[in-house]
Amino acid sequence: MSLSTQSRTVAGRSTTPPGGEPRRKRQLLGKNPFGLLLSAPYLIFVLAVFAYPLVFAFWMSFHDYFFAAPGVDVDRPFVGLDNFREVLADPAIIRSFGNVGIFLLINVPLTVVLSLVLATALNKAVRFRTFLRVAYYVPYVTASVAVVGVWIFLFSGNGLVNQILGPLAPDPAWLINENWAMPTIAIFVTWKGLGFFILLYLAALQNVSEELYEAASTDGAGKIRSFFSVTVPGVRPATVLVLLLSTVTGANLFTEPYLLTGGGGPNGASSSPVLMMYQRGIEQGSPDSAAAIGVILVIGVLILAFVQRKLAGGDES
Amino acid sequence: MHSNGMARRILTVTAASATVALALSACASGGSTGDAATNRGPITIWYSNNETEIAWGKQMVEAWNAENPDEKVKAQEIPAGKSSEEVIGAAITAGNAPCLVFNTAPVAVPQFEKQGGLVDLSSFEDGAAYIEERSGDTAAQYQGADGKYFQMPWKSNPVMIFYNKDMFTAAGLDAENPQLATYDEFLATSRTLVESGAAPNAIYPAPTSQFFQSWFDFYPLYAAETGGTQLIEDGEATFNAEDGAKVAEFWKTLYAEGLAGKEQYQGDSFADGQAAMSIVGPWAVSVYKDAVNWGAVPVPTSEGTPVEETYTFSDAKNVGMFTACENQATAWDVLKFATSEEQDGQLLELTGQMPLRETLPTVYPEYFAANPAYEQFGDQASRMVEVPNVSSSVAAWQAFRDAYTKSVITGEGDIPDALDSAAEKINALIAKP
Amino acid sequence: MSRAQNILRGVVLTVGALVFLFPFYYMVIGSLQAEPDPTVAGAFPNPANLTLDNYGDINSRINLLQGLLNSGIFTGGVILCTVVFGVLVGYALAQLQWRGRGVTFALALLVQVVPFQLLMIPLYVMIARDYGLADNYVGMILPFAINSTAVIIFRQYFLQIPKELFDAARIDGAGELRILRRIALPLVRPALLTVVLLTFIGPWNEFLWPFLITKEASLQPLAVSLANYLSNVAATAANPFGAVLAGACVLAGPAVLLFILFQRHFVSNNIGSGVKG
């Protein structure tokens, strides 16, 4: 943890409880133990609700496990890394990880760039402001189940998109084309999720002071210049957040491949790790394999998040 | 600093969680029932939430409750589709499954059995006898290992080929005696339908890769071609032989020539006029009767088979009794009541689906006389093939479907090779305990 | 800010908005049609084809009001818990130094990263059996109660507030509680709105969990009733595609309404001036 720039004098002036050993206590619980108090409800919630399933899932991945009725005697031997070996040897699963990589490569940069640009523009727009903002938010609120039908129709063999493209349209149409299935899904998810990230940026933009823009224009910077020198650095913490959240939700992609390509798509070209987890764990009754996939996925995402933090520069934590 | 910090934090989190988890599991109750097999009392049942089945379910429950005020049945609806398996599986694990589920898919039964969730119906004194008397020879397909019955065969939807008479007429084909008995005839008819512009697609089964989709393209034709062989028999895959290859090649031709759609269709392609034929069971009659002027024939075989000898897929839904049930004696009586001749008749009337009762047409002659549209289904119901009752059946079907979508729908690779490698995978899967 | 640039920006934004809205627009049109029209011309409504029957169809099959009420209770409960407790955690994570701060943030991240499908069954077993909360609003709300994304957003938001504001208050001798009430909370309004609008959607559209946890039809939120209707609609409705779209419009309606009502509060806050002088 990097140290904050809190001045030393402030620390010395913190409230000290009457009597007792104030210095010791401060070191034991940190400078502001009040923070612990504030976070207690959340911590209790997480531990009470998620701790058991999380640890259980992790434990399952190392055992030969399936769910059984209570009171049933079942042999559940520890199998070490067997589940992991089996899962990593399956080409369908490797493919699903590859697919999600392609997805992230398209979705994340597109999301970050588009949402910032759009949020900036929406922030300044005055006329029809409500209509415009609602327009960008609406895809986010509609349940995927409903919108999917429209997209399938738009991107079908003789759908609107192909009719516009004419001879440029790919031969097996988008969603049944091995090469285009995942990118199509990536575009769908980007479109659908932008509302969320635009909102995040909109909120962050409220904190970029007008004076900075004025200073920049006094210095002779044009719109584009001030965008890059004022806006982008000004919302950097939000950018870090957008990067993180879009990566995390992207890695957990499930509903869209399932609905848009009805399963794993042409030869598994649009399957995702969570889809595989669903198939193995819930449809086929092998939650141990599903847990193994899940553990690998979580580790992968945490590594990605860590790398992003290094590259994008972390916030003060 | 960051990397160490992060890793250390994750470890701390896991350790803290583990402590809590241990504490919680100590609180978890084991829960054991008394002698559930002979207890009587109120029970809960689930049935599917489609309209006609709800109608049947409600009248059945009312009829029972009127005569048995001390053993009342409470009914709840669950979704008919794939998520019903999730819900039932979760309920088994939590120990709060209902006594009876009138929506148990045969493909899920081996899994529920493995979980220890299902009651062996043959453990009741008249269990096996009742089932076999009602369903006759078909009952054998629903037995588990050791000949035990972990499900009560309930109703089926024998799959046949529906065709749109108006489209056939528009294409210049005979709408009353369509040429659909052999593969060659079927292909020729399909080509005429599409080329004449009468229909955008000749037939349009779902081309997606969920494990159960093969039940509505490959499997019915395979059942017909082999005269009643299941996908897996005696612990081994059967489909990677000549018959299976023929069926696969037939479908491949349909897809390759653009006679069957390769893209997912939202809605019912036959009812919407996007396909001239559809391959489905009698539940569709109530859907199509206003939308399409339809006729039905059995599924084709390569050389042609007489109607009275053609097999098909049953698309059955059965009833399971679950071990979480505390009043199993009552549940068994309710089950017998719900599958009695009277209630089966009600099922037929209200839903148009075929109870898995032997010699249906002779038991309900008035119904079939009054509803001639269902007559051929009643007859077809005596020649059906069920999904094989093996462990890891869902995984096996998924493996099959993956090979099928690749080699048949997308048309890549050699069919015998694809079937062979699928068979290998499946044999390994079902060999596991 | 030349006029030409303004107009250009306006045009680009509007075109983008139309592209964004198009599938939704198509959905609304589709839900109003008596016969599904899969051709391109169907995008431009033929007045003769318009009808409210699809909505009537849904209303006759599922109890829309009850579903809306349940969705409201479910979503409302989640938003309440998230906003109240999330703000506290976000503030604590961002501006206070305390032991366990890093662990808490790591937890919030971990909860986000792990897919729900992995946790679903053990979670169900725990809540239904061990906590005994099946067929119960609390059981429905529990896994969603405090949205970890919201926590991360609040934290991010508080990080952007200059530390000097708080330091100044501490130097003036204000207690932590006072700082929280007088300075941190009033500043958080834009983030609050954002969080409400963003965490609304999760529970509002959630199908699987409420369905798992309760079988009583009278407790089920609208998303569940609609999903059930969707899976059975082919058998009964006159225009299945239209009915599905009508259902989706009904589900999306309140969310859009909420947004329209709240988004005007996204105005610049000019915190910068609070620091100077």
DSSP B371: -
The C-alpha atoms of residue B400 and residue B386 are separated, in whole angstroms, by 16
Query: Are B10 and C130 in contact (CB < 8 Å)?
Result: no
Of the pLDDT bands very low, low, confident and very high (cuts 50, 70, 90), residue C235 is low
Q: Label residue B306 exposed, middle or buried (CB < 10 Å: 0-12, 13-18, 19+).
A: exposed
**What is the C-alpha separation between B33 and B56, in angstroms, rounded?**
31
With a CB cutoff of 8 Å and minimum separation 6, the contacts of A10 are: C167, C170, C171
Q: Which architecture, in CATH terms, is C65-230+244-276?
A: Orthogonal Bundle (1.10)
The per-residue DSSP string of B3-20 comes to HHHHHHHHHHHHHHHHHH
* Nearest CA among B25, B87, B29 for reference residue C120: B87
In a domain, A207, yes or no: yes
The reply to whether residue B51 touches residue C120, judged by beta carbons under 8 angstroms, is no
> B155 in helix, strand or coil?
strand
What pLDDT is recorded for position B32?
A: 42
By the 10 Å C-beta count (0-12 exposed, 13-18 middle, 19+ buried), B409 is classed as buried
Strands B275-280 and B294-297: unpaired
Number of domains in chain A: 1
Task: Determine whether the interchain pair A152/B209 forms a contact, defined as Cβ–Cβ distance below 8 Å.
Answer: no
Q: Which two structure tokens, joined as six digits, stand for A124?
A: 């300044």
Separation of alpha carbons B43 and A193, rounded Å: 45
Q: Which residue has the higher pLDDT, A313 or C271?
A: A313
Which residues of A are less than 8 Å from B405 in CB distance?
266-267
Residue A305's contacts (CB-CB under 8 Å, 6 or more residues apart) are A244, A247, A248, C109, C113
Residue A35 lies in a domain: no
- The one-digit pLDDT tens for each residue of chain A (317 residues) are 333 333 343 344 444 445 445 555 556 666 778 888 888 999 999 998 988 899 999 999 999 888 888 888 888 888 889 899 999 999 999 999 999 999 999 999 999 999 998 888 888 766 777 788 888 888 888 877 778 877 887 788 777 788 888 788 787 888 888 888 899 999 999 999 998 898 888 888 877 778 888 888 888 877 778 888 888 888 888 888 899 999 999 999 988 888 888 777 778 888 999 999 988 888 888 899 999 999 999 999 999 988 888 887 655 44
Residue C271 has pLDDT above 80, yes or no: no
> Which amino acid type is present at position C271?
I
Q: In terms of DSSP bridges, do strands B100-104 and B152-156 run parallel, antiparallel, or are they unpaired?
A: unpaired
Q: How far apart are CA B356 and CA A254, in angstroms?
A: 37
Neighbours of chain C (3+ CB pairs under 8 A): A, B
What is residue B142's predicted lDDT score, i.e. its pLDDT?
Answer: 93
Q: Is the pLDDT of residue C266 over 80?
A: no
Name the amino acid, one letter, at C71: S
The reported pLDDT for the residue numbered B163 is 95
CATH of the domain at A298: 1.10.3720.10
Q: Write the ipTM.
A: 0.82
The residue ranges of every structural domain in chain C are 3-51, 65-230+244-276
Query: Can you tell me the distance from the alpha carbon of B93 to that of C129, in angstroms, rounded to the nearest whole number?
Result: 9
- Measure C95 CA to nearest chain B CA, in Å: 19
Query: What is the predicted pLDDT for the residue at A89?
Result: 93
Inspect the interface and report whether the beta carbons of B208 and A262 lie closer than 8 Å.
yes
Residue C148's identity, in one-letter code, is: S
pLDDT of C15 > 80? The answer is yes
Torsion of the alpha carbons at B185, B190, B196 and B198, rounded to the nearest 10: 130
The two tokens of residue B249 are: 């090649």
The answer as to whether A175 is a domain residue is: yes
Which chains reach chain A with 3 or more Cβ–Cβ distances below 8 angstroms?
B, C
Tell which of A37, A42, A136, A155 to mutate to test the C interface (max C CBs under 10 Å).
A42
Interface contact C7, partner A, CB < 8 A: no
Q: Collect all residues with Cβ–Cβ distance below 8 Å to C235 and sequence separation of at least 6.
A: B50, B51, B52, B283, B286, B287
Task: Supply the range of the domain harboring residue A248.
Answer: 84-312
The answer to whether C16 contacts chain A (CB < 8 Å) is yes
Assigned token pair, A88 = 């990593």
The verdict on a CB contact (< 8 Å) between C101 and A30 is: yes
- DSSP H helical segments within chain C, as ranges? 3-31, 53-61, 64-95, 101-113, 116-124, 137-141, 148-160, 163-171, 176-179, 185-187, 189-205, 208-213, 222-232, 240-262, 272-275
Query: What is the pLDDT confidence band of residue C1, given thresholds at 50, 70 and 90?
Result: low
Q: At CB < 8 Å, which residues of chain C contact B?
A: 36, 38, 61, 102-103, 105-107, 110, 120-121, 124-126, 128-130, 134, 208, 211-212, 215-217, 227-228, 231-232, 234-236, 240-241, 244
Q: What is the pLDDT of residue C64?
A: 79
pLDDT at C178: 81
The verdict on C181 touching A (C-beta cutoff 8 Å) is no
Q: Quick one: pLDDT at residue B60? A: 96
The predicted pLDDT at position B253 comes to 95
Question: When comparing pLDDT for C181 and B167, which is higher?
Answer: B167
Give average pLDDT by consecutive 10-residue segment, chain B, 433 residues: 50 52 44 69 90 92 94 86 82 91 92 92 92 92 90 94 94 92 94 93 92 94 94 92 95 94 85 90 86 92 92 94 93 95 93 91 92 90 92 92 92 93 93 78
User: Count of CB contacts below 8 A, A vs B?
Assistant: 134
